[in-house]
Amino acid sequence: MGLWRRVFAACYDRCSAGAERAGLGAERDTLLAHARGRVLEIGAGTGVNVDHYPPGADVVYTEPDAHMARRLRNHGVEVVQAGAESLPFADGSFDTVVSTMVLCTVPDVPAALREVHRVLASGGHLLFLEHVRGEPGSKLARRQDRFHRPWKAIGCGCNCNRDLLAAIEGEFRVDDVRDEEWPYLGPLTPRVVVGSAS
């Protein structure tokens, strides 16, 4: 698995470039324009978001995977190698937390969201862009369940069938959300939720 993780990290940006050009990059711009104050990005991967933050944004990046973290550091940013379930920061340390295409891989989503809640300052916001489970009973949901196990192995822990909006709503008040399907994200992960929570 270690070798595949290294290969996955090396190929990630190249494999996702088409989706970024098709619209995902523009969606990152729109979402991250709302980042305010001191910002924490959880599971920052190879650093796809780095160039989408507003100029001068004060961002701390976390990434638990050593291969991803090495590529993230190539952007010249501060990287803390830590998982979202155990963030090494004091309570109320950040005004904004960013989560984009990461909660699918977190082993314990409720624990991660509790940690995000803990490190957010009073009045702070979670900005999220996550692919989610298809509507109950839909062809997409059935397809996600059918291919979940092989997809998780190929995607280094990506769970294509998680109801992440419900998880976020269980810990935060969702202030704004768009629930859409973006076909350019592929047949297993086209449904996304984008928004902010406090």
**pLDDT attached to residue 142:** 98
Give yes or no for a contact between 122 and 92, defined as CB atoms under 8 angstroms apart. Answer: yes
DSSP state of 85: T
Q: Which helix (H) or strand (E) holds 166?
A: helix 164-171
Sheet harboring 191-197: ordered strands across?
79-80, 58-62, 38-41, 94-100, 120-131, 191-197, 174-181
Q: What is the pLDDT along the chain (198 residues), one digit of tens a residue?
A: 588 888 888 888 898 999 999 999 999 999 999 999 999 999 999 999 999 999 999 999 999 999 999 999 999 999 999 999 999 999 999 999 999 999 999 999 999 999 999 999 999 999 999 999 999 999 999 999 999 999 999 999 999 999 999 999 999 999 999 999 999 999 999 999 999 999
- What CATH number should be reported for the domain whose range is 2-197? 3.40.50.150
**pLDDT attached to residue 103:** 98
Sign of CA dihedral 104, 128, 125, 174: negative
Q: Give the residue from 178, 134, 138, 135 showing the smallest Cα distance to 160.
A: 134
In the chain, what are the domain boundaries?
2-197
